[in-house]
Structure 1
Amino acid sequence: MKPRTLRRHINESVKSLGRNGWMTFASVGAVAVSLILVGMFLMVMFNLNKIAGDIESDVEVRVYVSQSATQAQTRQLGSDLKQIRNVQSVTYESKKQGLNNLMKSLGNDKSTFSDLKNENPLPNAYILKTDNPQQTTYVANKAQSLAYVSDVRYGKGTVEKLFHVINIARNVGIVLIVGLLFTSIFLIANTIKLTIVARRREIEIMKLVGATNSFVRWPYFIEGLIMGVLGSVIPVLMVFIVYHFVYYNLGASFSGMFISLIPYQTMTTNLSLLLVGIGAAIGVWGSLNSVRKFLKI
């Protein structure tokens, strides 16, 4: 397409948006309201997904070495653990390190265990991380079957329930997001369709005087793009304002519960780009889909 023709289409699109002010306002408003709902829901779901991922990454398998195992046998156990499928890392923790870590985690109450330094009852241990947290149970069972292992702990029972709840939450979230997006597309496309239907005679006249389908489509393509982008402005501003309040005012409360939110800059940038892209795509799709049937003359 020649630059001159493109400028003509852009100018015509802008003029049409002005001439059909109320219909343009209705279409932009439909985009804005729908994207506000989508944006707020995505904000919650992205953070829930991050929290679920953080919880999964904290799950580990602790393999306790038998007290009777020699140093050579302990090293052999470490080698055997590395051979288990889905094991990402194996970290050795001596009984001394285990006691120090326990005392450190207890804070003011660590004096209770200070007398145990000379007679440390804790066993040596290996700490395993898995490639996929969902494989924790499999890895724990495999580790339990190895020689020189006295016990394996990973939160049996609790971990399985946790993963089950996380999977349900993610699946429900995906279904709700898809449903909300389809509802938004239906609402926005039908609002834009009313705008196009009101101008069907304009399209018919253009076709009768010899305009090609692409020549007719381009102004509506640009109009849909502009309406979609304009409709995403308010949702983007809402994302910045709402997430600023949540992150900087409620983030400290969440950190006290060992929950961290997605960083403000990352969330607002990525979600804003996503909302603008969704708004533009829906606007263009709604315009082109609505004008298509009037091109068959």
Structure 2
Amino acid sequence: MSFRTIKRHFRESGKSLTRNGWMTFASISAVTVTLLLVGVFFVIMMNLNHIADNIQKDVEIRVHLDPSADAANKELIGQKINQITAVDSAKFSPKEKELTNLIKDMGSDGKTFKLFEQDNPLSDVYVVKTKKPTDVIKTAKTIEKYQYVQSVKYGQGYVEKMFNVVEVARNIGIVLIIALLFTAMFLISNTIKITIVARRREIEIMRLVGATNSFIRWPFFLEGAWLGILGAIVPIAVIAGVYSYIYDTVGKNIQIKFVELLQVNPFIIQISIILVLLGALIGVWGSVMSVRKFLKV
């Protein structure tokens, strides 16, 4: 395809946008609303995923060793844990350190536990991290079968529920986003159909003088892309402004552990790129569906 032909396609697609002004405005408005909703869902889902990842990364297995285990037995257990494929790290924490951490975590209430420094009732512990948070349950069940392992704790009951909630939230978000994208495709497709109907005579003349299928189709594809890209401008501006405000006024002041919003940069840039690409994609796809059905070339 020559540069002259490409230039002609871009010019024709631009003319078509201005020729069907009201339909162009209606399509861009519909795409704007759709992409705004999609963008909001993306912002929410990506931040929820970020928070969920932070929580999941903190999930660990605490392997409490039997008091009867000697140094050799403890070292052997550590070796066996590290041999598990799903295990990322296994750090030994002696009971003295466990008591110190407990006193520190309890703050002023921890003074009571200092009485146990002479006769420490706690157990030596292996703190195990898995490569994937979802491997925690399976790994814990494997470790609890080892000799000299007194108990294994990983938040049983709560961890399973957390993984299920995260999975359900992700699936719901994906379904809603896909539904909104199909709505935008349908709207753009209808706009392109009207353009094709209005230009049927011109298209027939082009066919008679020997224009190829691709030569006729390209302006429509570009028109769909313009509709999608133009429809992404307002959502990007709104989301960037609102998210920056929320991050500056709320995000930096959140004191809850694990609850941390994604930083404005490069997050807003990523969202902007996603919305522009989605806008162009749904525009072109809407054009493709319209051309296939109504443009018999």
Q: TM-score, normalised by structure 2?
A: 0.92
The 1-side partners of 2:243 and 2:187 are apart by 26
CA displacement 1:176-204 (0-9 Å, x = unmatched) = 22222222322332233333333333322
**2:43 paired residue number:** 43
What displacement does 1:130 show?
A: 1.6
Residue pair 2:188, 2:227 contacting (<8 A) in 1 also: no
Aligned 8 A contact 1:226 1:280 in 2: yes
Q: Secondary structure at the match of 1:150?
A: strand
TM-score (norm 1): 0.92
Report what 1:288 is aligned to: 288
Q: Label 1:278 to 1:241 Cα distance change in 2 as closer, same or farther (>3 A).
A: same
Instruction: Please tell me the residue identity of whatever aligns with 1:4.
Output: R
CA distance in 2, matches of 1:288, 1:169: 32
The alignment status of 1:272 with 2:283, answered yes or no, reads: no
CA displacement 1:210-233 (0-9 Å, x = unmatched): 322121122222222222111111
Measure, in 2, the Cα distance between the counterparts of 1:187 and 1:14. 19
Amino acid at match of 2:84: I
Count, aligned residues: 297
CA distance in structure 2 between the partners assigned to 1:168 and 1:282 by the alignment: 26
- In the alignment, structure 1 segments of 5+ residues that lack a partner are none
User: Which amino acid in structure 1 is aligned with residue 214 of structure 2?
Assistant: S
Match of 1:187 in 2: 187
- Distance change >3 Å, CA 34–CA 193, structure 1 → 2: farther
* Cα distance change of structure 1 residues 190 and 255 upon mapping to structure 2, 3 Å threshold: farther
Q: Once the 2 structures are TM-superposed, how far is the Cα of residue 296 of structure 1 from its aligned partner?
A: 2.3
Q: 1:200 to 1:249 in 2, by over 3 A?
A: farther
Q: Could you tell me which residue of structure 1 aligns to residue 34 of structure 2?
A: 34
Paired letter, 1:213? N
Mapped pair 1:129 → 2:114 = no
- Change in Cα spacing, 1:16 to 1:160, as seen in structure 2 (3 Å) is closer
Query: In percent, how many aligned pairs have the same letter?
Result: 50
SS at 1:121 equivalent: coil
- Of 158-167 and 189-198, the range deviating more from structure 2: 189-198
Q: Describe the SS at the equivalent of 2:88.
A: strand
Q: Supply the distance in 2 between the matched residues of 1:119 and 1:287 (Cα, whole angstroms).
A: 77
1:178 and 2:178 are equivalent in the alignment = yes
Aligned with 1:287: secondary structure? helix
Higher mean displacement: 152-161 or 270-279: 152-161
For the residue of structure 2 that corresponds to 1:77, the secondary structure is helix
For 1:180 and 1:77, how far apart are their aligned partners in 2?
Answer: 52
Distance of 1:295 and 1:164 partners within structure 2:
47
Indicate if the aligned counterparts of 1:69 and 1:148 stay in contact, CA closer than 8 A: yes
* Unaligned stretches of 5+ residues in structure 2: none
> Residue 16 of structure 1 aligns with which residue?
16
- The 5-angstrom pairing of residues 1-297 of structure 1 reads 1-296=1-296
Q: Do the aligned residues in 1 keep the contact of 2:222 with 2:284 (CA within 8 Å)?
A: yes
In 1, distance between residues paired with 2:209 and 2:294? 15
Query: Is the CA contact (8 Å cut-off) linking 2:196 and 2:295 kept in structure 1?
Result: no
Cα distance, 1:109–1:238 mapped onto 2, change above 3 Å:
same
